[in-house]
């Protein structure tokens, strides 16, 4: 009789421990992940009980790992979710957020695009897409998405402020000023908006007074202010100063590594300075990003010059032949 009672007591203790562990896990999930309710989407409901339990276990483990910045572990749990229910929109969204946190921007973009195919007007996912696009300097596309978000919630001043910053990043100060005036009219002003409006109005006035001789200076100031590719391209096209061109083309390669024009500018200057080996290396790196025939011809011309300067007449002839094939 005593033996039986002890066994029952042991079972009760084990059951109590398991219950406490379950309660602790639920408490952790509910109270350590306050942002989930704000920017995530509902889990699927069309599962049998066993599948649903497994899916939710892996999904909430992924959220827990993300909350303590174990992003790779979170991704591993999401992969298990994906095996149980392939192509789920909530899982795609979480994949994107974790890859974004790991600065794997291409994968973050790929997964948020997949999620938006299934739910194209989801506000939280569109906001996340804007952040991903900004991180890859795709300001024009980010601006278009942000305009859509403002249209969804036209009374939200924070969304409009983000749109203002995107216009500035995309070298569109006039548009930025329009949005600042709109926010002030509809939502009232703040110290930030007042200062920004003053700065934009001064900038607008200054650019109106500029004449051609100061064009280069204004281009440098513009790029130093907003760091956009459009400002950089304008600066490189306006300058004949080799020191300026080398400095800013080098910055351009670091900041906009997929823009072939910055490689071409630097290659031309290095060829002119007889640094043919360095010029060839830069030009060969940049030509992979060329999609326009005219620019490709410019690259062939400069690569031929580099080979000529290095005394490699065979390769020079090869690129001259490519240059003249049309």
Q: What is the CATH number of domain 26-33+45-152?
A: 1.25.40.10
Crossing angle between the packed helical segments 191-209 and 173-187, to the nearest 10 degrees: 150
Report domain 212-326's class.
Answer: mainly alpha
Query: Given this model, what pLDDT does residue 167 score?
Result: 85
| Tens-digit pLDDT string for the chain (326 aa) | 333 333 333 433 343 444 444 444 444 444 444 444 445 555 555 557 888 899 999 999 999 999 999 999 999 999 999 999 999 999 999 999 999 999 999 999 999 999 999 999 999 999 999 999 988 888 889 988 988 898 888 888 888 888 888 888 888 888 888 888 888 777 777 777 777 777 777 766 655 544 444 445 566 767 776 788 888 888 888 888 888 888 999 988 888 888 889 999 999 999 998 999 999 999 988 888 887 778 889 999 999 999 999 999 999 898 888 876 65
- Classify each residue of 169-182 as buried b or exposed e, where b means 16 or more C-beta atoms within 10 Å of its C-beta: bbbbbebbbebbeb
| Cα–Cα distance for residue pair 167/134, rounded to 1 Å | 12
Query: Given this model, what pLDDT does residue 44 score?
Result: 56
Crossing angle between the packed helical segments 157-169 and 123-135, to the nearest 10 degrees: 20
| Cα–Cα distance for residue pair 137/255, rounded to 1 Å | 9
| Cα–Cα distance for residue pair 185/157, rounded to 1 Å | 11
Residues carrying CATH 1.25.40.10, the chain: 26-33+45-152, 212-326
| Cα–Cα distance for residue pair 133/50, rounded to 1 Å | 38
Query: Given this model, what pLDDT does residue 59 score?
Result: 95
């Amino acid at each position: 009789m005593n033996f039986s009672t002890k066994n029952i007591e042991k079972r009760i203790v084990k059951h109590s421990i398991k219950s406490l562990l379950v309660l602790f896990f639920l408490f952790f999930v509910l109270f350590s992940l306050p942002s989930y309710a704000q920017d995530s989407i509902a889990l699927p409901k069309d599962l049998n009980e066993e599948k649903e339990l497994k899916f939710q276990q892996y999904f909430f483990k992924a959220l827990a790992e993300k909350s303590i910045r174990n992003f790779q572990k979170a991704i591993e749990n999401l992969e298990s979710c994906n095996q149980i229910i392939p192509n789920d929109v909530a899982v795609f969204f979480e994949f994107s957020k974790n890859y974004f946190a790991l600065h794997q921007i291409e994968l973050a973009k790929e997964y948020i695009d997949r999620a938006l195919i299934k739910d194209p007007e989801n506000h939280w996912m569109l906001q996340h897409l804007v952040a991903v696009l900004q991180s890859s300097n795709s300001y024009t596309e980010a601006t278009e998405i942000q305009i859509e978000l403002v249209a969804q919630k036209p009374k939200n001043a924070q969304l409009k402020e983000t749109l203002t910053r995107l216009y500035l990043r995309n070298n569109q100060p006039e548009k930025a000023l329009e949005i600042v005036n709109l926010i002030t009219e509809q939502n009232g002003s703040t110290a930030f908006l007042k200062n920004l409006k003053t700065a934009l109005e001064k900038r607008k006035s200054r650019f109106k007074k500029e004449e051609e001789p100061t064009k280069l200076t204004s281009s440098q100031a513009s790029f130093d202010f907003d760091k956009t590719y459009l400002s950089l391209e304008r600066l490189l096209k306006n300058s004949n100063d080799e020191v300026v061109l080398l400095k800013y083309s080098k910055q351009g390669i670091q900041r906009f590594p997929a823009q072939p024009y910055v490689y071409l500018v630097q290659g031309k200057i290095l060829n002119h300075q007889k640094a043919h080996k360095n010029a060839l290396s830069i030009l060969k790196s940049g030509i992979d990003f060329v999609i326009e025939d005219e620019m490709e011809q410019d690259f062939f011309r400069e690569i031929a010059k580099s080979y000529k300067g290095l005394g490699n007449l065979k390769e020079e002839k090869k690129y001259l032949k490519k240059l003249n094939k049309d």
